[in-house]
């Protein structure tokens, strides 16, 4: 378990931008995802690398890249977790987020992006461009016998540009 504490998910339909009432007093909202290393720590704190099914998570960020909340958007099958741009951006729009970071796990342990991962990333980057919400990174995490396997599309130069 990581030493960071993330805010719980935002109210999906909150106009007041309040956090879920289950947030503890020790939960910090000062955690920034300004590097691949910080994204990896955030994902490890959610134990995403240990999941046996693919899970897709969206981190909602403010202008200073601090996590306002997150949503475990889908829990999928062994080899895929379908998501739709409408669902990815819904809470970000309602809660006034200017940026998001997306991530999912690969239960196989191999964090290399698949062609399907690249397609959905391009779709989300294009949708974010239309909405004025930048998709900063798409990270993939897995767990092997050697430890955590992590891939940041931004760090590896494979993050698509808006078309």
DSSP string, the chain: --S--PPPPBPTT-SS-PBPTT--TT--S--B--SHHHHHHHHHHTTGGG-SS-EEEEEEE-TT-BEEEEEEEEE--SS-----HHHHHHHHHHTT-SEEEEEEE-TTS--PPPHHHHHHHHHHHHHHHHHT-EEEEEEEEEEETTEEEEEETTTTT-PPPP-
Predicted model pTM: 0.80
Kindly report which listed range (6-20, 42-56, 142-156) carries the lowest average pLDDT score: 6-20
Q: To the nearest whole number, what is the mean pLDDT of the chain?
A: 81
d(CA 30, CA 96): 17
For the segment 25-38, the average pLDDT, to the nearest whole number, is 68
Half-sphere exposure of 53 toward its Cβ, with a 13 Å CA cutoff? 11
Mean pLDDT of 3-28: 44
Look at residue 18 in the predicted model and tell me its pLDDT: 37
Given a contact cutoff of 8 angstroms between Cβ atoms, the answer to whether 20 and 60 are in contact is: no
Q: Hey, what domains does the chain have and what are their CATH numbers?
A: 36-152 (3.40.140.10)
What pLDDT, in 10s, does the model give residues 102-135? 999 999 899 999 999 999 999 999 999 999 999 9
């Amino acid at each position: 378990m990581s030493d960071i504490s993330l805010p719980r998910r935002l109210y999906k339909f909150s106009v007041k931008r309040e956090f879920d009432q289950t947030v503890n007093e020790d939960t910090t909202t000062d955690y920034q995802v300004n590097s691949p290393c910080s994204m990896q720590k955030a994902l490890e704190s959610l134990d995403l690398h240990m999941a046996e099914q693919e899970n897709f998570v969206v981190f909602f960020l403010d202008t200073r890249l601090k996590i306002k909340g997150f949503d475990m958007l889908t829990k999928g099958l062994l080899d895929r977790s379908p998501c739709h741009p409408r669902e990815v951006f819904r809470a970000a729009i309602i809660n006034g987020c200017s940026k998001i970071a997306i991530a999912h796990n690969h239960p196989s342990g191999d964090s290399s992006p698949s062609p399907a991962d690249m397609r959905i990333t391009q779709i989300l980057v294009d949708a974010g461009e239309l909405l004025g919400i930048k998709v900063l990174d798409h990270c993939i995490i897995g767990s092997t016998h050697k430890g955590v396997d992590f891939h940041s599309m931004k760090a590896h130069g494979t993050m698509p540009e808006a078309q």
